[in-house]
Structure formats: C-alpha cells, structure tokens
Structure 1
Amino acid sequence: MSQQVLVPVDGSRPSRAALEYAREQFPDAELTLLYVADPMTDYSRQRAYPGYTAEDEYKSEREKGEAVLESFEETLPDALTVETTVEAGDPARTIVQYADDHGVDGIVLGSHGREGVARYLLGSVAETVVRRAAVPVTVINDHEA
C-alpha cells in the first residue's frame, strides 16, 4: 500500500514549493491537494466592500479554491496519483481534521514565515498544524515568496 500525503495549498509560492517538495520526496505516494475555503474570507469581503462585484475576482472562496487546485494539478505529471478537494472551515483545524478523517501518512505544507506582530495578529496555520496533527508534518519555508 502506498503512502498518502496531504498537501494543503492556497495558491501561494510557499504552497507551490510544498507541492514540489512532496512530489520529489514522495514520488510513489498518493498526493491529496487540499484547499481550505475559509467562510470568513467571503464574509469579510462582503462586509468591507458593500456592493463588491469585481468581474475579475472569483465569486467565492470555493470557486477560487477550485481554480487554484486546477492550476496546481496542471503542473504535475500524468503518472502521479493526485486527488484534489475543497473543504470549508478554519484552515488549521480543517487540515488536521482532514488528515485524521482520511488516514493520511503525512502532511507537507508551505509557510509564509511571518514573524513578530504579523504572526501574532494573523496566527500561524503551519504552527497549529504541527502542534495538533497526529502524523508527521513537514513545513516548507519559502523565504523568496
């Protein structure tokens, strides 16, 4: 039975770096790309910008997630076994819960590497996942992002 590796993605350079790392380090694994659509993002956008209807933006976080997953999947070789999914919820909690529910063997995720006040105010998804996951977690810190 092959390994199952969860790769949470958000469209950023660190998440692309995490996917590349997972592909290189686990060439025979089944990869699951997970986009977590945070419902608060849609709510915040609507509350902060009443009448927000930019045509060039996605209509919802779910739609954005599907587009991100599609763009990531296009970069992978056809021979690679990849599953994609969009889940709604708090990113850190949803990643840990998905890993628990689906019996993955490991998680590889990118980190934005925020420090100081930004980290305190924005939190750290990677740190929370590392502390709460029941499986090994590899954090890819892309300092060039």
Structure 2
Amino acid sequence: MQILIPIDGTDASKRALDFGIEMAVQMDGNLHVVHFTNKPTDATETILDDARTRLAAANIQSEPELTTLTIDVWNADRVGEEILDVVNEHGYDHVVMGHHEDGAVERAVFGSAAETVLRAEAVPMTIVP
C-alpha cells in the first residue's frame, strides 16, 4: 500500500502523521510525507524536522518531501487540488490527513484541504481529527 500524508504542522496534522505511520507499519505499506508551501520559511523546516523525527522513531526510512507552490491565492481548496494532483501523478492507494475544527465562517471562506480531497472521491482516505 502506498500512503500519502500531507502535513502542515498543526496538531491534527501531527496526529495524522502518527496514525499514517502506524497504518504503514501494520500493513507493511510505504509512506510519502509531503508538505506544501507557497514560500519556504524557518517554520517549513521545523515542520519537516518534526516529521523526520516521527518517522525515525518508527524506524521508517522515508524522507519528507517539500513541495513548493507558487500561487497568489493560498487557500485550502487549492492545497486540496494539489494533493489530488500528487495522488493522480503517483498513484497512491490511500491518503491520511488531519482535519482541525474551524468555525463556520473560516470553513465557508477558506474551505478545507481534507474536505476537497474527500469530496473528489479519487482515493480512499482517512481523516484524523
């Protein structure tokens, strides 16, 4: 099983990564951890370092990938579409994503990358709260 885990540094994302690691171990799967950003910063490296630490603790030899998007409008729907492009391009069997509760206004304005991927019904997915 090929598992894609998009991360963003939130607590929900960290829980999703932990869940995906356990899933891969239990199912003898392969992980691909990716972080999307429109501009790499020190926070980007902190997010990737945390992922590396979690992967190493589980004895998984996978290197998180940094995908940089150059777009003017940065919103969750756009990130969700990029995740779907990666799924289609590489043929992942499963996506594991974190989803944190937002207020109704934030969800209406920004959407949710996890909701975009889920609604596309392009790949089985686990959403970790």
Q: TM over 0.5, yes or no?
A: yes
Over the matched positions of the two proteins, sequence identity in percent amounts to 30
* Larger CA deviation: 86-95 vs 63-72: 63-72
Which shows bigger deviation, 5-14 or 111-120? 111-120
Question: Which amino acid in the other structure matches residue 107 of structure 1?
Answer: V
User: In the alignment, is the contact (CA less than 8 A) between 1:31 and 1:81 conserved in 2?
Assistant: no
Residue of structure 2 equivalent to 1:137: 125
Structure 1 portions without partners, runs of 5+: 40-59
Asked whether the equivalents of residues 6 and 108 of structure 1 are also in contact (C-alpha less than 8 Å), the reply is: yes
How far apart are 1:93 and its partner, in Å? Answer: 1.2
Match of 1:7 among 5, 8, 29: 5
Which runs of structure 1 show a deviation greater than 3 angstroms over 4 or more consecutive aligned residues? Answer: none
Alignment of 1:1-145 (within 5 A): 3-27=1-25, 28-37=28-37, 39=38, 60-61=39-40, 64-76=43-55, 77=57, 79-89=59-69, 90-141=78-129
**Normalization by structure 1: what TM-score?**
0.73
Gaps of at least 5 residues in structure 2 are 70-77
In structure 2, the CA distance between the partners of 1:63 and 1:32, relative to structure 1 (3 Å rule), is farther
RMSD: 1.8
Higher helix residue share: 2
Whichever of the two has the greater Rg, that structure is: 1
